[in-house]
Amino acid sequence: MRWNSSITIATALIGLASTSSAAGTTVVQDTVTGFTFSEYLAPITTGSTVISFRIAIPSPATDSYDAVVQVIAPTSVGWAGLAWGGQMVNCPLTVAWANGNSAVVSSRRATSHTAPTTNPAATLQLLSTGTGSNGTHWQYTAKCSGCTSFTGSGNQVKNLNPAGGNRLAFAFSRTRPSGSSPDSTIAVHDVYNYWDHDFSTAGNADFEALVARNQ
Ligand code: HEM
């Protein structure tokens, strides 16, 4: 297990390593994993506490392209979830929580506003580099296959635009699931919100090589 230093995180969280781009997302070069990420800092309190949601995609992006997601959360966050369709229902939900020096990643889906169940249509591969915890934060890095193209509401196939903005949503709970199994019971969220994530700045020409290097 290799871990980002707290300096890297602090730098990322206050944006010093970032350059501006459209729609509230910034570009982050992660020196630990080597990925270029498009990052959104989601406020979770009225203060300055945020969860960092980062996305990397291949460049060029083929149909149904894979994505790498990296999430950095304060230790007060029990689980953090990313909703790839910008809503809770009928889209892939990537839920994760800290597990010692690693993390549990869980692919879920909901058809109503009740506890989401396991989603075999989207598979997650946890990458060991870029996953871990320190005294203030935990983070994970994972590849998702099936998160950028999925069957949404009304059985319509939805493809996230690799060259523009996509509406995403997140949710988190302060209650950490007690288990280390991906199908552990999760508590309902304390906070959720939405944003427009710029995928046009998330491209990585060496995407597959980076995934292989960080496994
Ligand atoms: C035990 C698990 C969960 C329960 C019981 C639950 C329940 C609910 C309920 C009742 C609402 C409606 C709240 C309102 O209208 O104010 C809601 C909204 C929402 N939930 Fe969940 N939820 C759970 C897990 C998740 C997860 C894992 C995610 C994302 C990764 C998520 C994302 C959202 C979002 C974005 C909304 C806003 C409304 C929408 O877009 O549909 N939820 N949830």
Give tens-digit pLDDT for 156-203.
Answer: 999 999 999 999 999 999 999 999 999 999 999 999 999 999 999 999
Query: What band does 97 get if pLDDT is binned at 50, 70 and 90?
Result: very high
The Cα 179–Cα 37 span in angstroms is 30
Which domains does the chain show, CATH number per domain?
Answer: 6-214 (2.60.40.1210)
102 ligand 1 Cβ < 6 A:
no
- Mean pLDDT calculated for residue range 52-67: 97
134 class by beta-carbon count within 10 Å (0-12 exposed, 13-18 middle, 19+ buried):
middle
Q: Report pLDDT for 135.
A: 92
- Closest residue (by CA) to atom 16 of ligand 1? 192
pLDDT digits (tens, 9 = 90+) for 102-140: 999 999 999 999 999 999 999 999 999 999 999 999 999
CB 208 within 8 A of CB 37: no
CA of 113 to the centre of ligand 1 (A): 6
User: Which of 97, 104, 113 should be mutated for ligand 1, with most atoms under 8 A from CB?
Assistant: 113
CA of 101 to the centre of ligand 1 (A): 28
- Mean pLDDT calculated for residue range 56-61: 98
Nearest to 210 by CA among 88, 73, 29, 78: 29
184 ligand 1 Cβ < 6 A:
no
Atom of ligand 1 nearest to the CA of 187: 1
The Cα 5–Cα 202 span in angstroms is 23
168 ligand 1 Cβ < 6 A:
no
Q: Report pLDDT for 10.
A: 39
Q: Report pLDDT for 28.
A: 97
pLDDT digits (tens, 9 = 90+) for 63-91: 999 999 999 999 999 999 999 999 999 99
pLDDT digits (tens, 9 = 90+) for 5-40: 433 443 333 333 444 444 589 999 999 999 999 999
CA of 1 to the centre of ligand 1 (A): 32
CA of 133 to the centre of ligand 1 (A): 26
Query: What band does 46 get if pLDDT is binned at 50, 70 and 90?
Result: confident
